[in-house]
Chains A and B, each alone.
Chain A
Amino acid sequence: MSLKMRNLAVTAIAATSLLSVAACGSSSSSGDSGSGSSPSGQSLKGVSFTILGQWTGGEQDAFQAVIDAFDKKTGAKGTYTPAAGGDEAGVLGTKVAGGTPPDIAVLSLPGAIAQYASANKIQPASAAVQSAVSANFATEWGTLASAGGKLYGVPVDASDKSTVWYNAKAFTNAGITPPATWDDLIKAGKTLSASGVQVPISVGGGDGWTLTDWFENVYLRTAGVDLYDKLTKHQIPWTDPSVATALTTLKQIWGDPELIGSPAAAVKVPFTSSVDNVFKKTPTSAIVYEASFVATTITSDKNPAKVGTDAKVFPFPSINGSAPVSEAAGDFAVAFTPNKAAQPFLAYLASPEAAKILVSTSGSGFLSVNKNLANSAYPDATSGDLAKQLVDVGNNFRFDMSDQAPAAFGGTPNKTEWGDLQTFLVNGNVAAAQQQLEKDAKSVKWN
């Protein structure tokens, strides 16, 4: 998610400054009264606090609406600033190092919580925040927001990274139904190819993070959660046989030009185009794997396909009978200063009331894993279903592996993990890919 935003933010930066102005005018009506989980009365009158994040556009509007509702309730004054250039890690790192951290920052990398906690730069959650988090979220989400057994953050939004999107019309033309297993996915691809779809499965290899997501979903299913956790922390090397199995499995699709077209072309297709190829007016592809936020990409298209009717979703298929499991990603709000409004705001963020504002503001595309949020809060049925899936898996999910790795390994465009998987996409050499991944993993510091 963060990585998508990083890319989008560069282009969106001019547009958003205009949007944010518009947001202030329109959002005042969306706060409603209720829920006792947050402080009431004007107890924080005159307290101002700052929030740093990377959201722009519709996401920023939705988050601003939450701040406005909180301000109205408590009399505090929250100011949200998106990080310049979309580079939140860099901006935050500099601010913290310079001794002027924001009161709250929204982090998309749980690894950062551990880093800042170990350096004593962030504030542990208050009792109110702790009880709000444990009341509203599956325990695994709380664990991700903790370090050293102490809770620091609050999950704000989440995305389901085990969703495969498809063009419903293309499936009807080919007379197929959504595949439930990996082998069926391959068969579906072949049938789509026979039905005249040039590139049945659209792979956005131009952005390496899409490839890491492919790999992580396959690895989660072929190796299981225990090995996934170990590889996430680099406790097993990338030369492990389990990685070879996952890459070989991936190659069944990545290495077949009948399914993904020419790999040399796929490695140049950016994420947005990979989605566009499936849902544009004369589609050249029928299936694209990426997270739930694909919906936002579709609706921001020039001639948007209708999510739920033209654009549909099936869960990432099971491999060799693997049990259902999800990959997820999300953002966490963490307090950096003892500002009086910081903890109350975090507690408010954890409440179903704030979640409702977040997901129902139009254009935000947010999903929440708040289990006390009614599904009816979502603006459309598809996002409601996606959120329900995420809530229903409970603790049976794993957080995006590359988002947990140091950025130098799992978050650098066209380099290290991203670049190595791009190379693998093109040449299909399993052993060489493993060697290079291990070499790159070794050259960075793991916590």
Chain B
Amino acid sequence: MRPAFSVLFLTTLIGAGQGLLIALVTGQWYFVIGTGAAHETGKFYGIGAAVSVALLAAGLVASIFHLANPQRGWRAATRWRTSWLSREVIVLPAVMGLAFLYGVTHWFDFNPVLYTFGNQKSLDLTMSVGFLAAGAAGLLFICTGMIYACVKFIREWGSFWTVINYTLMGLSSGFVLAAAYTGASGSPLFGLLAGLGLILTGLGLATKLFHLWRNTRLKPKSTMKSAIGIHHQQIRQVTQGFLGSSFNTTEFVAPGGADAVRALNLAGLLAGFVLPILLLALGWSHGEPPLLWIAVAIQYVGLLAERWAFFAGGNHVQNLYYQRMA
């Protein structure tokens, strides 16, 4: 498949935004259930939520460039009963709204206690909004992942590992960003988020490797025989019917071919997972927060490469019909 840069930016930006939001909520929850008196200021969560909203908004803007008729984009929210794309279109603004609320309630310290449990722990407003926002962000991971996982005609994508991978990569990039943020602001959450970032990036690397391995062992479900219904062992296309190009010969092929996919897969694995793990571990153990910002930048480029290779590596069934010009 031909990767669309608008979609690459959309998936990487909103993934990081959702991951950051979940990391902030995880940090707040860690304080709530903990026994210590440590806590973070409302400004800390407010700035974090603002960065998250900015990332989500940037992703939304990038996605608009994918549409040929964006002025009718609002219609994309209408078929949520059947289309994962439509569900994403609904859940993305919902996450943005909840992230905004999360930031605003924190910033202005508007935090009434909603419920007090038997053990004297209490659920306050910001924590509730945080849970809702994190839940919506998790739902958005599933929606975006399922857009690709439900395309059964691209066997490389049509697997629930697509969703798991995408979710883990978003979480990983968000937690690495949150670790850099807490490191820079000297937050007591630094250790927790850096540790979780390491775990999530490691898990992401493992599932990504498994997905790549799985994709090397795919057996095609359709053959030339079933494509044209002729019961011959040897079927060769003489011509696809035209000498120029068409949508079918441009949209469904990887620019650069299999070599480019291999190279970018490797680059994605290195820059998206291995280097961030090393930089995160180094920055955490040596107390060097600037290393974490380098990790964030390298991982973002790496995840862009990973997404490119993911899209380009998908081989669509329709390519059976488009093999030779003449």
Question: Is A bound to B?
Answer: no
List residues of A whose CB falls within 8 A of some B CB.
none
List chain B positions with a Cβ less than 8 A from chain A. none
